[in-house]
Structure 1
């Protein structure tokens, strides 16, 4: 074969391979748009992001994905399950993306792709009103609830190791279970992200109180997708929608609606605090 003929053949093969990869990478987004539905996995016990209000799914994530759906031209189909089953469900292909949201960490970035951050996730303490806790260090030796398999658990464990007496950490499948135990006096406090506990304290009308300052490192919440090429275009499209919402003020309005304040979040988190 002449050199020029070989080069042309090689170039043609490379172009076909590249085109094949490109089409393959667009499969999930194309399928979502063809079906007209984006399947979103989440738990519904993480107020104010996702929770059940008078029998209806409500929260910041519901509002955000409604806007994402408009930008992508699709409807949102929610798939609810306990948090410990959400990420395995994503990997098993039961849905296209996870709302959650989840704290963006180094370990998670190695396995998943996160979207544009949607809020801060710094960890703080929520106590039962009247409990003798005036600062985070006062939880030493006390029973404190936290979500099972969460970044909040990792930070609480790390913080506990710095105290003179380790915290009696109680893990719960859902934060609502922890709040119920705190109301019943079985634990004295719950560790969760500041946006979550500020919302819960407001909803409980003085029964619970937020302990400031937060003790966790400054972290952020994001939605979760897989890192494979099939899903890249879908997460790219969700990122574009979220950035558009940041630019036109829709995200700030929704943050103020659900948290009572807006957060100055980065457009991406490439080097998380932990």
Structure 2
């Protein structure tokens, strides 16, 4: 009798624990839906993903999260801060997800969960018009700007080590600062993702030019979330929304709007190139 009672108690406790864990795993998504607001952290100096134009916050990220909000039935609340503070802000719980976006890398995947890719992130060179740079290797020994604490910095550093003379790498808190220095002649080029520099070259035709081919390994951009169990349901919901948008053509239309081209991206990146 005692044995039967003990077994019932164990089974009951296990069921209660399972129910508690399941409820806990739904906490963040449930909290977001109950509040009717999804807080999204980002910087606003990473055109065409996130930037300020005539005082308005615009970009691919803004359009994509508008659609994600519709799919989840919530409004989007933006929290903006410098890039180096975005990921720490996510960990501190200042917002539920990071727009960024960030390049999906092996090291970052160990610490964060990435959404389905939203665009390619392969690194290339943007030069000042007239600068004697016709191929990526021509940046050897020259001053080149790059974003601080970015995957582009890591790839530029790696590429520099293969050149006859090291690149004079200048780190910037925001890419707009690097573009301003290039326009002023303080640096001759900027290393950034191909979508970003293609947009900048188009916006500032005659001032900047893209140097092809890209020198970086093929990589992808994704939005960043936490790997904690209580965030899993939220990240699953965002993934489902992005994959749905990819399937029904909304993703491609927005890519074409901001990049002038569409990217063939996988539904998930399991083994990043970097």
Deviations 1:55-101 (A, max 9, x none): 00000000000000000000000000000000000000000100000
Equivalence for 1:222: 222
**2:85 matches 1:85:** yes
Helix, strand or coil: the match of 1:258? helix
Structure 1: which 5+ residue stretches go unaligned?
Answer: none
Q: Distance in 2 between matches of 1:11 and 1:246?
A: 44
**2:177 matches 1:187:** no
Q: Distance in 2 between matches of 1:25 and 1:16?
A: 14
- Could you tell me how far 1:230 is from its partner in structure 2? 1.3
**2:114 matches 1:114:** yes
Deviations 1:241-266 (A, max 9, x none): 00100110100100011111111101
Equivalence for 2:30: 30
Q: Distance in 2 between matches of 1:265 and 1:18?
A: 36
**2:244 matches 1:244:** yes
Task: Give matches, 1:162-241, under 5 Å.
Answer: 162-241=162-241
Q: Distance in 2 between matches of 1:187 and 1:217?
A: 24
Equivalence for 1:67: 67
**2:161 matches 1:161:** yes
**2:18 matches 1:15:** no
Equivalence for 1:97: 97
Helix, strand or coil: the match of 1:169? strand
Deviations 1:178-216 (A, max 9, x none): 000000000000000000000000000221000000000
- Could you tell me how far 1:10 is from its partner in structure 2? 1.3
- Could you tell me how far 1:232 is from its partner in structure 2? 0.8
**2:235 matches 1:265:** no
Q: Distance in 1 between matches of 2:219 and 2:197?
A: 15
Q: Distance in 1 between matches of 2:118 and 2:2?
A: 57
Deviations 1:15-53 (A, max 9, x none): 110110110111111111111100000000000000000
* TM-score using structure 2 length: 0.99
- Could you tell me how far 1:5 is from its partner in structure 2? 2.8
Number of residue pairs the alignment of both structures matches = 274
Deviations 1:151-199 (A, max 9, x none): 0000000000000000000000000000000000000000000000000
CA RMSD, aligned part only?
0.7
- Could you tell me how far 1:131 is from its partner in structure 2? 0.2
Equivalence for 1:58: 58
Q: Distance in 1 between matches of 2:16 and 2:49?
A: 44
* TM-score using structure 1 length: 0.99
Q: Distance in 2 between matches of 1:206 and 1:78?
A: 34
Helix, strand or coil: the match of 2:7? helix
